[in-house]
Structure 1
Amino acid sequence: MKALLRFPLLAALPMLLPAVAAAQEGGRSTTATDVTKAEIDTVLASPDGGVDRQVKVVDIGHGNVAVGILHRGPTPADGTITGIIHHRVTEVYYVTSGGGTLTTGGSLVDPTPRAPDSLSVQVLGGPSDAGEGRGGRSRQVSVGDVIVIPAGVFHGWSAIEDHVTYLSVRPDPQGLLPAGYVNPAIR
């Protein structure tokens, strides 16, 4: 148990194994793909790309796994929680810098579907709805924390004082995200 507290990523692995196993049933990948710290840093530092920047999307046989890096600045002080629901793609966050209050669960008020041809749907997270969240569970997260957000679960940041930067691993067993995608900043 102490090892799980020291290494939070170990605690998340049992939750990821079924998705990885299901993704490999239909085919077997024969190579590993590296996503280096230098690549992540380059994508994060690139002037284009917004908050959410996909680094790579890897074909793992039957389905894909995407790795992205996200950086968010301070949230408005009005208490509004805006966020998103990805209908078919799970996300696993690993906080690398900063922190804030993350809210998950609950529901969207007047959800707005993301355009099917948007970067958000095509490359980042598949079909999604965005808007203001209500209810759910809020908690403080910081460097080293791992959060598993299943497909269909609302998630948004209700308070960030300075910034939060986090890696997002996105198991995609349905192959919705573009296998072979590499961020233009590292091509």
Structure 2
Amino acid sequence: MRSVIWSFPTVLCLMSGIPALAQDQVRVNPTDPQPTCTMCPGTYIPSSEIEGYANKALAEKLLDQQMRDIDIGKAHIGIGRVHRGRLDRPAPDSVAEHDQISEVYHVLSGAATLVLGPDIVNRQRRPATLRTVVEFNGPGNNGSEVRGGIAYDIKAGDVVVIPAGTGHWFTRIEDHIDYLMVRIDPDKVTPLKSEAQSQEYLSKPAPRGE
């Protein structure tokens, strides 16, 4: 009879039921840097859904809404839709700052004056139980003004990048401003929100509270 000698790695593969080649196929171009989000799907948000959030903001007098919160491996990415009405002068202590989450605005319509800067006067810790803190932009502070801040007149088509820790302060809004919000959350402090959760949110009145 012919004897058969099995190597230890081969025995392990047979025992696990996984071919040795399949283990290598998990890695894409094994000698190259690997994707930081392994086999992650893409996310598509149709314009009809974005419009649904716009309509809901007007109908229910909502300011900020989170459409999705997506795990991209090393971070979460939040996609929000924000509507702000006319503002002749800033409300007291309306400077906002987020400790861990950076934001990108893409202005869809309207115009406003937005002041940016890291030197925030009269910092006040935002309550950890606020809905916006828990679900949208994580822990941070409010303040009374931005010392040495730069004022930008922003309008439809403009993009604004606000790093974590930078104060942002609307001091004037002509009639309204609507913008798409991208929140970059490397510490994953905000909860994920799927398409199904988004549709459920749109199907009934939104929770109230800040």
TM-score by length of 1: 0.78
Q: SS of 1:124's equivalent?
A: helix
Moved more, 62-71 or 104-113: 104-113
Q: Which amino acid counterpart does residue 192 of structure 2 have in structure 1? A: A
Are residues 177 and 79 of structure 1, via their aligned partners in 2, closer, same or farther at CA, if it must alter by over 3 Å? closer
**Which of the numbers 134, 149, 165 marks the counterpart of 1:122?**
134
Matched, 1:40 2:50: yes
Q: Distance in 2 between matches of 1:81 and 1:130?
A: 6
Contact conserved, 2:101 with 2:184, CA < 8 A, in 1?
A: yes
Q: Which amino acid counterpart does residue 179 of structure 1 have in structure 2? A: L
Q: Which amino acid counterpart does residue 190 of structure 2 have in structure 1? A: L
Q: Distance in 2 between matches of 1:69 and 1:105?
A: 23
Aligned residues: 163
Are residues 159 and 64 of structure 1, via their aligned partners in 2, closer, same or farther at CA, if it must alter by over 3 Å? same
Q: Which amino acid counterpart does residue 82 of structure 2 have in structure 1? A: L
Could you tell me which residue of structure 1 aligns to residue 5 of structure 2?
none
Bigger RCO of structures 1 and 2 (CA < 8 A, at least 6 apart)? 1
- Whichever of the two has the greater Rg, that structure is 2
Contact conserved, 2:116 with 2:146, CA < 8 A, in 1?
A: no
RMSD: 2.2
Deviations 1:83-118 (A, max 9, x none): 200110000000000011111004332222222121
Q: Which structure 2 residues correspond to residues 75-154 of structure 1 after superposition, within 5 A?
A: 75-77=87-89, 82-135=94-147, 136-154=149-167
The answer for unaligned runs of 5 or more in structure 2 is 1-34, 205-210
Q: Distance in 1 between matches of 2:150 and 2:39?
A: 37
Of all paired residues, the percent bearing the same amino acid is: 30
Q: Distance in 1 between matches of 2:112 and 2:53?
A: 22
Are residues 39 and 79 of structure 1, via their aligned partners in 2, closer, same or farther at CA, if it must alter by over 3 Å? closer
TM-score by length of 2: 0.70
